[in-house]
């Protein structure tokens, strides 16, 4: 249907709706009828695909080939063990990947966009998926249009339709009927299409199509994108594992050749080489990375940080600078007017929060506001030049809209003004919404046959448009700005208010008309209101924590420089000597000048989103890893340019959220700090898994080579090597991904993002541990043979020695520097339980007759156990000495 050709009245009739919107009951019925407003149904998790993915590895291919060859060689027991190892590894990997996928999808569902609608005649925020044809939707700058909408009222509305038409310039929209036939979507100026972006202005419209019936939905039917985004860390790990794989396969080939030279059979050496390769290659590492990232994402979500792009988890751990907005992020965003200036007198306002209780004082004494007309004028403009509201729910005062505007309503109510009565007396005819580039908002009102323009905005911007004050005097800009500056020193945010009577019978206002400041059209300055937005106590603590972690916090705000400096000092970002860089100064600076300034400036005031982008770029030129917050449409370039773009979940626009890597559901700076901590923990845990797997893998090959050099039999048969790999690596490596953060995780400087998985420390320790384990195994094996033990029993001793070496190595891996005796056994219950399960399995391996027959083992004596535990414990002693020495060198 050509909705653009139909009048609003006809649309109401066709869709059985009204300008008050649908009832909740009717909306529920239509949701069942039309379905959810989304383009495609979420594809279900393909369990079979995840299971088959566990076999998609060259290492598994080698095992399967080895199993087939073993069957052909009629070694059925070994073949059974090989295939059992493949299937058990696949089952464990499947469950971990499936849980990780479930977790990430659940978090994604938390980021469904919101829509502002009229339901039961009341404004409500709902998820865009709940929209149905007939809903009345309110559009405002920064949101992505949630459905196909026929506009019924517009105010300076501009929409970016490039996603649909390819046209780069925003399109000006209106609400009038268009009679022309067969118009393209780009020419339907009274329609807003799903997926396009509101660049500026406000609008109201009727939802005419949802989901797959929208213009975008019809396009989506022909396009199906399936993309799995991998974090750089996952690619890094895959390359690392492949490099290790090549080295191990080369070593196993040499092992095979050496075995043949000393007289071993081709069959035995083939099986030994394959089993050694499987034991040495960290094939579980890519799965562990997926699990570790999923664990990190889940933990961040508990701290109100939803990760949209997996690379953010890794990059957060390397962050060196966080550029944060002030209002709502570093402060509570609970505005309360504390001071009013009417052009002559200064008034103090009692009370806090949104409850309209508190006296208005002059020189410390309560006054009757209604006797002070100039004071009432300031408060009335704040009340009526406003798009927000204050209401009572369950006895508690709540707000709808912007907290700054809500504070102005509350201050007017404290003076006895009734919002309902004032709106009735001063009927709003037109509005120019606030935009950050404009710096003000204006409304047109009708009162007693006259027209009035009310304006509120930044003091310097409003004063540019004023010619005199409400007392009839010529405007004294210097005096007013001095008052604003004095208020700002107290950490108050300042807004200026002005008005003008219009003689003509006009129904619309334009920016050009308001900004034309001359003796006829200039505004009359009414006064100032200063409000406090107290710093969040948790943000103050988080900033302290960032400093300890080597992360610099930079405040980037649109507030007055003096206000920004006062709040910056309260938060601990700056001190009394710190310089504040303003937007005006930034405008005069070249990029080179700014490049030198960004290293020392921590507070930027009166800046625009374009300035924020320049700041981010210059910080990156210094090699900083930058995280930056944003909530508006124009913040998107800065969010994309930063290494980590962080959008606000409550106040952020859809455009900001889509440009971001992470969304804060509570708009709280402390949540960023918690996310940085989790990012560091994820990388640390992956290193711990690597240090657990690599030395023990190296030891399995080295021990065979050592046995050959000592001219003794190989310490284990192929099936036993596979058992070692299964009982030690199957659970412990994944358990290490759940390690809690270490005490020093936030006191060390940020990690260099170019640093590899294996640091120099880990490489050195891997060589020491690998050599120690292989020596210990061969020592116990030879010792058992010399004590007249059978070859089967000696091999049982060797396998058990290797298993317990790996148990103790798992504990060693829990920290690079901290002694294991200072780490609680139960701080990672998953690891504790996995070691208990593995110990029980190893006892069954030794003493259960069926397993003895499969793996060719024999029971071992108490003396053998003593030797095994004493030798295996040596790995703890050696690593503890190494940690102690390195702690001393660090100091």
Domain around 166:
3-37+131-220
pLDDT per position as a tens digit, 839-881: 999 999 999 999 999 889 999 999 999 999 999 999 999 999 9
- The per-residue DSSP string of 141-187 comes to TTPBP-SEEEEEEEEEEEEE-HHHH---SPEE---S----SS--GGG
**Catalytic site residue from 325, 469, 631, 661:** 325
CA angle 403, 408, 413 (to 5 degrees): 120
Q: Can you tell me the distance from the alpha carbon of 424 to that of 440, in angstroms, rounded to the nearest whole number?
A: 24
Looking at the fold, whether 732 and 857 belong to one and the same domain comes out as: yes
Main-chain dihedrals φ then ψ at residue 75, nearest 5 degrees: -95, 75
At 266, is the pLDDT very low, low, confident or very high (cuts 50, 70, 90)?
A: confident
Tens digit of each residue's pLDDT (9 = 90 or more) over 277-290:
766 777 667 777 77
Same domain, 433 and 503: yes
Query: 749: how many CB neighbours lie within 10 A of its CB?
Result: 9
Classify residue 410: in a domain, yes or no. yes
Point out the least confidently predicted range of 352-356, 510-514, 516-520, 525-529. Answer: 516-520
Q: What digits encode the pLDDT tens for the residues 307-350?
A: 887 778 878 888 999 999 988 899 887 889 999 999 999 999 99
pLDDT of 521-566, one tens digit each?
A: 899 999 999 999 889 999 999 999 999 999 999 999 988 888 889 9
- 143 found inside a domain: yes
Q: Give mean pLDDT, residues 172-179.
A: 92
Q: Find where tokens 């799995």 sit.
A: 228
Do both 461 and 347 map to the same domain?
yes
Q: Are residues 618 and 715 in the same domain?
A: no
User: What CA–CA distance (Å, rounded) separates 22 from 44?
Assistant: 32
Residues 554 and 663 in one domain: yes
**Does 851 fall in a domain?**
yes
Three-state DSSP class for residue 456: strand
* 340 lies in some domain: yes
* 870 shares a domain with 774: yes
Same-domain check for residues 654 and 606: yes
Per-residue three-class SS string for 291-348: HHHHHHHHHHHHCCEEECCCHHHHHHCCCCEEEECCCCCCECCCCEEEEEECCCCEEE
* Residue in 60, 53, 89 with CA at minimum distance from that of residue 274: 60
Least confident of 120-129, 503-512, 765-774: 503-512
Number of compact structural domains in the chain: 4
In angstroms, rounded to a whole number, what is the distance separating the alpha carbons of residues 315 and 455?
44
Both structure tokens of 320: 């060196």
Q: What is the mean pLDDT of residues 383-398?
A: 90
How far is residue 369's CA from residue 259's CA, in Å, rounded to a whole number?
100
Asked whether residue 412 is domain-assigned, the answer is yes
- Chain centroid to CA 717: 49
Residue located via tokens 């005419």? 208
Query: Domain check: are 193 and 251 in the same one?
Result: no
Q: Give the pLDDT score at 292.
A: 82
**What pLDDT, on a 0 to 100 scale, did the predictor assign at position 228?**
45
From 64, 203, 80, select the one nearest 146 (Cα to Cα): 203
* Spatial separation of the C-alpha atoms in residues 202 and 155, rounded to whole Å: 5
Query: How much of the chain, in percent, has pLDDT values that exceed 70?
Result: 94
Alpha carbons 68 and 78: distance in angstroms, whole number: 11
pLDDT of residue 227: 40
pLDDT of 651 reads 75
- Residue 732 sits at the vertex; the CA angle it makes with 727 and 736, to the nearest 5 degrees, is 170
- Residue 698 CA to residue 718 CA, distance in Å, equals 16
| Model confidence, pTM | 0.75
How far is the first Cα of the chain from the last one, in angstroms, to the nearest whole number?
A: 75
Which of 119-123, 264-268, 527-531, 582-586 shows the lowest mean pLDDT across its residues?
A: 264-268
Selection from 342, 360, 361 nearest residue 483 by Cα: 342
Last residue of a domain, one of 649, 667, 685: 667
With respect to residue 192, please indicate whether it lies within any of the assigned structural domains. Answer: yes
Alpha carbons 399 and 393: distance in angstroms, whole number: 10
SS3 575: coil
Hey, how many other C-beta atoms are within 10 angstroms of the C-beta on 787? 14
* Three-state DSSP class for residue 46: coil
Question: Of 220, 239, 261, which closes a domain?
Answer: 220
What CATH code is carried by the domain that includes residue 494? Answer: 3.40.1110.10
Task: Say which residue, 439 or 225, is predicted with more confidence.
Answer: 439
Mean pLDDT across the chain, nearest whole number? 87
pLDDT value of position 659: 84
- Which one is predicted more confidently, 544 or 632? 544
- Same domain, yes or no, for 163 and 25? yes
* Residue 447 and residue 546 share a domain: no
Residue 774 lies in a domain: yes
Active site residue 325: yes
Residue 730 has pLDDT above 70, yes or no: no
Tens of pLDDT, residue by residue over 179-206, are 988 888 888 999 999 988 888 888 999 9
Evaluate whether 827 touches 814 at the Cβ level (below 8 Å): no
What is the pLDDT, as a whole number, of residue 521?
Answer: 81
Which runs of consecutive H residues, i.e. helices, occur in 829-861? Answer: 829-847, 849-855
Average pLDDT on 701-717 reads 87
Higher pLDDT, 46 or 12: 12
Q: What is the pLDDT of residue 438?
A: 84
Classify residue 351 by its DSSP letter.
-
Q: How many CB atoms lie within 10 A of CB 866?
A: 10
Query: Is the pLDDT confidence value at 109 over 80?
Result: no
The pLDDT value given to residue 757: 78
Specify the CATH number for the domain of residue 137.
2.70.150.10
642 closest CA partner among 301, 311, 380: 311
CATH number at residue 833: 1.20.1110.10
Average pLDDT (702-728) is 85
The per-residue pLDDT for 224 is 44
The per-residue pLDDT for 719 is 81
Split at pLDDT 50, 70, 90, the class of 759 is confident
Instruction: Give me the pLDDT at residue 230, please.
Output: 55
Q: Please report which confidence band the pLDDT of residue 453 belongs to, taking 50, 70 and 90 as the band edges.
A: very high
**221 and 199 Cβ atoms separated by less than 8 Å:** no
Q: Which of 408, 359, 341, 353 is nearest to 381 (CA)?
A: 408
Mean pLDDT of 87-114: 69
Domain end, chosen from 667, 687, 713, is at 667
Domain of 625, CATH number, reads 3.40.50.1000
Average pLDDT, integer, range 636-649 = 91
Pair 503, 596 in one domain = no
Same domain, 461 and 361: yes
């Amino acid at each position: 249907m050509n909705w653009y050709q139909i009048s609003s009245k006809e649309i109401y009739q066709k869709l059985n709706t009204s300008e008050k919107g649908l009832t909740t009951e009717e909306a529920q019925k239509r949701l069942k009828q039309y379905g959810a407003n989304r383009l495609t149904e979420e594809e279900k998790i393909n369990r079979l695909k995840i299971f088959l993915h566990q076999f998609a590895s060259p290492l598994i291919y080698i095992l399967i080939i080895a199993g087939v060859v073993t069957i052909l060689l009629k070694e059925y027991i070994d073949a059974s063990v090989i295939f059992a190892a493949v299937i058990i590894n696949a089952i464990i990997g499947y469950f971990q990947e499936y849980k990780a996928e479930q977790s990430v999808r659940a978090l994604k569902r938390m980021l469904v966009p919101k829509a502002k609608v009229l339901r039961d005649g009341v404004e409500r925020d709902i998820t865009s998926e709940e929209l149905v044809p007939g809903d009345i939707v309110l559009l405002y700058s920064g949101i992505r249009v949630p459905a196909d909408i026929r506009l019924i009222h517009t105010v300076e509305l501009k929409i970016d339709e490039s996603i649909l038409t390819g046209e780069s310039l925003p399109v000006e929209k209106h609400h009038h009927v268009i009679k022309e036939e067969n118009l393209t979507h780009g020419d339907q100026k009274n329609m807003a299409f799903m997926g396009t972006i509101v660049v500026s202005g406000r609008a109201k419209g009727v939802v005419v199509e949802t989901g797959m019936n929208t213009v975008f939905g019809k396009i989506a039917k022909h396009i199906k994108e399936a993309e799995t985004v991998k974090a750089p860390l996952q690619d890094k790990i895959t390359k690392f594992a492949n490099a290790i794989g090549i080295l191990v396969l080369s070593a196993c080939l040499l092992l095979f050749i050496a075995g043949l030279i000393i007289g071993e059979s081709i069959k035995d050496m083939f099986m030994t080489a394959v089993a050694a390769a499987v034991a040495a290659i960290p094939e579980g590492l890519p799965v562990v990375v997926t699990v570790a990232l999923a664990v990190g994402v889940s933990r961040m979500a508990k701290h109100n940080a939803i990760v949209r792009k997996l690379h953010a988890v890794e990059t957060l751990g390397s962050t060196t600078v966080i550029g944060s907005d002030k209002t709502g992020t570093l402060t509570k965003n609970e505005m309360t007017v504390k001071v009013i200036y009417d052009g002559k007198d200064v008034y103090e306002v009692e009370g806090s929060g949104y409850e309209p209780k508190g006296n208005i004082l002059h020189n410390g004494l309560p006054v009757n506001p209604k006797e002070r007309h100039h004071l009432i004028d300031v408060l009335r403009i704040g009340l009526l030049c406003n798009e927000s509201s204050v209401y009572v729910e369950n006895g508690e005062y709540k707000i709808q809209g912007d907290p700054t505007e809500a504070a102005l309503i509350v201050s007017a109510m404290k003076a006895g003004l009734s919002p309902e009565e004032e709106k009735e007396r001063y009927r709003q005819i037109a509005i120019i919404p606030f935009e950050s580039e404009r710096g003000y908002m204006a409304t047109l009102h009708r009162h007693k046959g006259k027209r009035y323009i009310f304006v509120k905005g930044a003091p310097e911007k409003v004063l540019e448009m004023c010619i005199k004050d409400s007392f009839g005097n010529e405007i004294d800009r210097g005096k007013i700005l001095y008052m604003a500056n004095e208020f700002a020193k107290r950490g108050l945010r300042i807004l200026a208010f002005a008005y003008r009577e219009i003689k003509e019978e006009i129904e619309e206002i334009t920016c050009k008309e308001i900004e034309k400041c001359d003796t006829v059209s200039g505004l009359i300055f009414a006064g100032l209101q200063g409000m406090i937005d107290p710093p969040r106590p948790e943000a103050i603590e988080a900033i302290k924590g960032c400093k300890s972690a080597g992360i610099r916090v930079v405040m980037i705000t649109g507030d007055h420089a003096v206000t920004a400096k006062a709040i910056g000092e309260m938060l601990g970002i700056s001190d009394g000597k710190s310089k504040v860089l303003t937007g005006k100064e930034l405008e005069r600076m070249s990029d080179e000048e700014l490049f030198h300034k960004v290293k020392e400036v921590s507070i930027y005031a009166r800046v625009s989103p374009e300035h924020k982008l320049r700041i981010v770029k210059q910080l990156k030129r210094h090699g900083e890893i930058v995280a930056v917050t944003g909530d508006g449409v124009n913040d998107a370039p800065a969010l994309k340019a930063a290494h980590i773009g962080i959008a606000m979940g409550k106040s952020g626009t859809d455009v900001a959220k889509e440009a971001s890597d992470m969304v804060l559901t509570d708009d709280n700076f402390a949540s960023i700090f918690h996310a940085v901590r989790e990012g560091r923990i994820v990388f640390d845990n992956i290193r711990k898994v690597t240090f657990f797997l690599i030395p023990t893998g190296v030891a399995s090959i080295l021990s065979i080579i050592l046995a050959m050099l000592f001219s003794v039999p190989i310490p284990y048969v192929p099936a036993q090597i596979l058992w070692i790999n299964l009982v030690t690596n199957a659970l412990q490596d994944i358990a290490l991904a759940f390690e809690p953060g270490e005490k020093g995780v936030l006191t060390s400087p940020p990690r260099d993002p170019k640093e590899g998985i294996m640091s120099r420390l880990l490489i050195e320790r891997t060589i020491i541990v690998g050599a120690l384990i292989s020596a210990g195994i061969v020592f116990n094996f030879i010792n058992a043979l010399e004590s007249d033990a059978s070859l089967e029993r000696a091999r049982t001793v060797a396998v058990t020695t290797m298993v317990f070496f790996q148990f103790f190595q798992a504990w060693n891996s829990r920290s690079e520097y901290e002694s294991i005796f200072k780490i609680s056994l139960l701080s990672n219950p998953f690891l504790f339980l996995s070691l208990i399960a593995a110990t029980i399995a190893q006892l069954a391996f030794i003493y259960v007759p069926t397993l003895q027959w499969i793996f060719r083992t024999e029971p071992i004596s108490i003396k053998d156990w003593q030797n095994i535990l004493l030798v295996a414990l040596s790995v703890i002693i050696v690593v503890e000495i190494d940690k102690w020495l390195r702690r001393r060198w660090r100091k």
